[in-house]
Amino acid sequence: MGWQDVTPSDAIEVAAWIEPRLLPFDEYRLGSVIPTGFATYVRIQARSRLADVLRRHTTTPDRCWLCLWDGYGDLHGPPAVAYMHVWTSDTPEHLRRPPPPPPKPKLRSSRVRLPHRDYLLFAGSVEQGDGWTQGPNLWWPDDRAWCVASEIDLDYTLVGGSDGLCDELIARGAEAVLPEDRN
């Protein structure tokens, strides 16, 4: 599962609620990565099977918005990404030529522009946000009941939502992020 499996969208106005709820982008404070205003926040390391819980805490599980940072090299193809090929002495000569690089993906030109990051926008279900190799970096349902943020420079993911959602995630191993922990 990944960005190739969801529908690209130009409806960037659906993300307009995020920027006014972000704090200044310094020292990776909680609100500089994920919008403020949710009842509770948790920090998780592994996002696997997160959709199982998130689905129960939204009225719009089949209408979610997924933002992917537009700086990932594989979105832009060469020369933004390099491919390495290794051959051994046993590799037949006809296989020693490097294969052509994959074609550059066709992406929308519109971007969700937030402080310090621009994102491609996709639409999909809550399940389609699970299991990406990279991203989604921001992910929320149409009813905005919760938001998931995976900042590219951090080794954890933040989830903001209701007390019930975060309690369920804590029961599955998430760590509560208390107001005094917000940096």
- What pLDDT does 182 receive? 45
What does the pLDDT average to over 145-170? 94
Q: Give pLDDT tens digits for 162-183.
A: 999 999 999 999 999 875 554 4
| Contact criterion met (CB below 8 Å) for 38 and 160 | yes
Residue entry with tokens 């066709």: 106
User: Does 105 score more than 80 pLDDT?
Assistant: no
Burial of 22 (C-beta count, 10 Å sphere; 0-12/13-18/19+): middle
H-state helical runs in 56-161:
none
Q: Give pLDDT tens digits for 3-43.
A: 888 899 999 999 999 999 999 877 667 888 899 999 999 99
